[in-house]
């Protein structure tokens, strides 16, 4: 039995955020394989290269927002894409977009552990 795991490498240079995040999410879920099972992690590790060369306009960065909620009343924080890109870079935007595209179940954390993003 061959236990060699293949790693999918996705080049983000010149591509838009949504297109890259969709391809990453589909590979992490395992939907590109014939052996896809919804309740078992059957995906493959994904590496995104050239994340800093992602094509994204300033208008789109202003439209994107992410929320964080601390759990206390008044604890909702809304972070815009421009703030996230300045503080943490485009790598964080790819990570957040992919996270939101994955199913909201117990396998999400396992899938995100198999994601590696490089500049």
Q: What was the pLDDT predicted at 4? A: 67
Residue by residue, pLDDT tens for the chain (119 residues) are 455 678 999 999 999 999 999 999 999 999 999 999 999 999 999 999 999 999 999 999 999 999 999 999 999 999 999 999 999 999 999 999 999 999 999 999 999 999 999 98
CA distance linking residue 105 with residue 74, whole number of Å = 27
Q: What is the pTM of this model?
A: 0.90
Residue with tokens 């949504």: 18
Q: What was the pLDDT predicted at 1? A: 45
How many CB atoms are closer than 10 A to CB 46? 21
Domains of the chain: 8-56+89-117 (3.90.1180.10)
Distances (CA, A) of 48 to 13, 87, 110: 10, 20, 17
């Amino acid at each position: 039995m061959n236990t060699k795991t293949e790693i999918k490498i996705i080049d983000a240079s010149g591509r838009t955020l949504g297109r890259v995040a969709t391809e990453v999410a589909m590979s992490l879920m395992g939907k590109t394989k014939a052996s896809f099972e919804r309740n078992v992690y059957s995906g493959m590790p994904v590496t995104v290269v050239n994340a800093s060369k992602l094509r994204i306009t300033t208008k789109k960065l202003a439209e994107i927002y992410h929320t964080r909620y601390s759990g206390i009343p008044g604890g909702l924080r809304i972070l815009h894409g421009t703030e996230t890109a300045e503080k943490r870079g485009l790598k964080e935007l790819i990570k957040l977009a992919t996270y939101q595209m994955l199913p909201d179940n117990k396998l999400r954390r396992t899938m995100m552990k198999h994601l590696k993003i490089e500049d």
